[in-house]
Amino acid sequence: MKIIKNITLLVFLMIGFTSCNNKEETKEGSALEPLVYTLYTAHTELFVEFKPLVVGSTSKFAAHFTILGENFKALTDATITVSLIVGDKGLKNSVSAPSSPGIFRLALAPKTAGTGTLVFDIVTKDYTDKITIENVVVYPDEKAALAKQPEHAESGDISYLKEQAWKVEFANMAVTKQNFNAVIKTSGQILSAPGDEMIVTAKASGVVVFSGKNTIVGSAVNSGNSLFTITGADMTESNIDASVKDAKANYLKAKADYERSKLLVADKIVSERDHQQVKLQFDNAQTTYNTVAKNYTSKGQNVLSPMSGFVKNVLVTEGQFVQSGTPLATISKNKNLLLQANVSQNNFSSLSNIRSANFKTPQNDIVYNTADLNGKIVSYGKSTSVSTPFIPVTFQIDNTGNFISGSIVEVYLKSTAIPDALLIPTTSLIEEQGLFYVYVQTGGESFQKREVKLGASDGMNVQVLSGITEGERVVTKGGYQIKLSSASGALPAHGHEH
């Protein structure tokens, strides 16, 4: 009997355990899948997850708010209010701080079934914003919600969480059609504009002495500042000091002869012809003395800056002997520059259509536009020469202080117009074995890797011929981080609440 009782008890326990398991499976199987929305305004991105709204049941919202800009960042200081409006009835819930950076946790318990609107109001110290989700269904019970729940399908998209994106330089943008130009990519050089640069030369022969800090390359100088002094030192020939003394002596003697001649010609003692000869000698002596004595002091002859600017280079060393006319230094205003592009003869027919250009210097990856630098096309060559097979195209631009004369640059000459071109920034591109890819955001935390075929590029933007469509959001910064994350397969703790 004992054995029978034990067996009976065991059977009941097994039945009870099986029944509990079936209840758990039923409960888990009936779990509602969360709704997911990703919406944008001019200032904010909202990525929100929440269970379908059911009357009498509390739905918790994991609302991720991102501040848009050059780099997307988590919203960390704001008051968020979510409102549900069904017909003429509504309810709302507010939080004044995130549970973690960028993530605001809210909750609503609907009381009325129907189709309504969810409104998220955002109030920060810098701006206010509003994001609306239309046609949100509030179900009368969970059974009705389950009946409308779509079947879950594997998308194969790459997962990259907001918590990851907020920690790196990340941004995306909606792709739009814009006016563009055919582009001729070539090399070029930054040159000084005519009249913007002058060479300082020695006005006499002698030994060069530097005039302090004004002769340091890169130092600013004003017109008339002393740059060098030319001295005679102990030179036995070509001595500026001796030359000035001789010129002064000749001048004084000629002056005395001229004064005496004026008295003699008045008294008819010398002829007018002889007097004119004495006057000519005086004029020549005066000119010579004034020339060699100009800017001359007891220390030697000062060499002055002919204009305001900066010392671009110094062509001599201190103590060096120079002849009159020897170049000593170059002074540059550095205000106007020339951008000279070297164009292949194959593009000669397109040169008349060129109006502007982009260019990039070796110093950084910034792409400059001639239009933004008050640039204008000066000329383009009509022929080539034996020394170079290229045709020069020259722009004059303002120097913002970022350019060095003589630098070699990459140039993107803008030619004929291309209307309605699908454009993305060049920073969007990922290159792999000669092919180009971009990451397209399909949801708040899901991405697709797409191969794209490219057209013209102006160094800043590139035309996409195929692979994406207008309106899709393409990652412009952070593509490599998504690639590395998908390769590692590791994800941080999500922290979302479904």
Strand-pair category, 391-398 with 376-380: antiparallel
Tell me, what's the pLDDT at 262? 78
Whether 493 shows a pLDDT value over 70: the answer reads no
Q: Considering only CA atoms, give the Rg of the chain.
A: 41
Q: In this predicted structure, which of 47-56, 283-292, 466-475 has the lowest mean pLDDT?
A: 283-292
Per the CB < 8 A criterion, the answer to whether 452 and 464 are in contact is yes
Angstrom distance (rounded) from CA 303 to CA 214: 11
Q: In this predicted structure, which of 3-17, 215-229, 389-403, 472-486 has the lowest mean pLDDT?
A: 3-17
Tell me, what's the pLDDT at 137? 96
Tell me, what's the pLDDT at 346? 84
pTM more than 0.85: no
Identify the three-state secondary structure at position 464: strand
**pLDDT, the chain, mean:** 85
Whether 135 shows a pLDDT value over 70: the answer reads yes
CA triplet 498, 474, 465: central angle to 5 degrees?
Answer: 140
Angstrom distance (rounded) from CA 282 to CA 455: 77
Per the CB < 8 A criterion, the answer to whether 57 and 109 are in contact is yes
Length of the chain counted residue by residue = 498
Tell me, what's the pLDDT at 446? 94
Mean pLDDT of 167-173: 96
Q: In this predicted structure, which of 176-185, 272-281, 364-373 has the lowest mean pLDDT?
A: 272-281
